[in-house]
Amino acid sequence: MTDPLTIRVSTGTGTGRTTLAAFDAALVAAGVGDFNLVRLSSVVPPGSTILDVDAAGQLAGQHGDALFCVYAEAHASLPGHEAWAGVAWSRRDDGSGAGLFVEHEGPSHEQVATDLTHSLEDLSATRGGAYHPEGRRVTGITCDTLPVCAVVVATFRRAGWEGLADG
């Protein structure tokens, strides 16, 4: 039997001379800048705990480790434009801890919040209405002159490269 899974959700925003540099700065601000991200499809395993954390509360690991996660990223590169990212989650009503994540990006807090709500409602309906919303994290940033990025990341597990055969 495996240990119960603790999923940590953090946010970050960043600015850089390119959208990639802004994304990197946002990942660093969220506490996951030195990982290789492996994107998951948003299903929460039974028995999981989900925690809201700051950057210091995120998973620790070695530089370059793989990080299995769900994330939303939004970019803006025109002055006055906004970048908003959000992740929300729901749990099955049976007390198992099983659940679903949804992630959205957009140009306003209102759009992201609405999209998160609608997606959770629709995913629950697709599964017979057996899920209830449990939490969400949303963050945003406004572009002044340089490109900006907002991220919300839910981390599941990290994996190192030791012991893996080449090619």
List pLDDT tens digits, range 30-39. 999 999 999 9
Q: How far apart are CA 122 and CA 128, in angstroms?
A: 10
Instruction: Return the pLDDT at 162.
Output: 80
Q: How far apart are CA 105 and CA 152, in angstroms?
A: 10
Q: Is residue 165 part of a domain?
A: no
**pTM of this prediction?**
0.93
5 touches 47 (CB < 8 A):
yes
Domain count, the chain: 1
Q: Is residue 1 part of a domain?
A: no
Instruction: Return the pLDDT at 1.
Output: 43
Q: How far apart are CA 148 and CA 88, in angstroms?
A: 22
Which CATH number does the domain housing residue 150 bear?
A: 3.50.20.10
Q: Is residue 112 part of a domain?
A: yes
For 99-133, the pLDDT digits (tens) are 999 999 999 999 999 999 999 999 999 999 899 99
Q: Is residue 130 part of a domain?
A: yes
Q: Is residue 164 part of a domain?
A: no
Indicate the SS3 state at residue 29: helix
Q: How far apart are CA 131 and CA 43, in angstroms?
A: 12
